[in-house]
Amino acid sequence: MSEDAPRFDADLTAPAGARLAIVAARFNEQIVDSLLQGAREALRRHGVVDANVLVVRVPGAFELPLACQRIARSGKVDAVIALGCVIRGDTPHFDYVCSEAARGCSTAALATGVPVAFGVLTTDDIDQALERAGSGAGNKGADAALTAIDMINLGKRLGEQGY
């Protein structure tokens, strides 16, 4: 690749008028509420106004993909943020829920062309979940919000370059 070729680096400043949706699971609500708070705060800090953020609650992580896909297909948002928390138990249920949530959110993004940022915690225990949903830099909901902004900007820049 030549030095004259376009380069696309991170851009975490939301474009004016950016519209996002946050789809958050109700299961493990205390953890997910912390992720949701982190995501909302990160969006505000990076230029997204509250009026442009739709928040939708679904029963659990398994239900995230369908809601994400419906919202993405609506044409009313620039990106979707999926938030949930699945904590390992004594059965293989954990593995099925985690993989289907991840696969489904990825499929929703690919099918619609709208970024779906995956902010679903998959932890071995409650302590790990609390750590990843903490305040400040450790909040994975905030990380997912920044990913969504970055992908909105990347999509705009790629489009401007004809990609």
Residues carrying an active site annotation: 93
Q: How far is Cα 109 from Cα 65, in angstroms, rounded to an integer?
A: 9
Q: How far is Cα 86 from Cα 15, in angstroms, rounded to an integer?
A: 32
Q: How far is Cα 71 from Cα 77, in angstroms, rounded to an integer?
A: 7
DSSP letters spanning 90-124: SSTHHHHHHHHHHHHHHHHHHHHSS-EEEEEEEES
Amino acid at 43: L
Q: CA angle, corner 13, sides to 10 and 16, nearest 5?
A: 135
Encoded tokens for 137: 């830099």
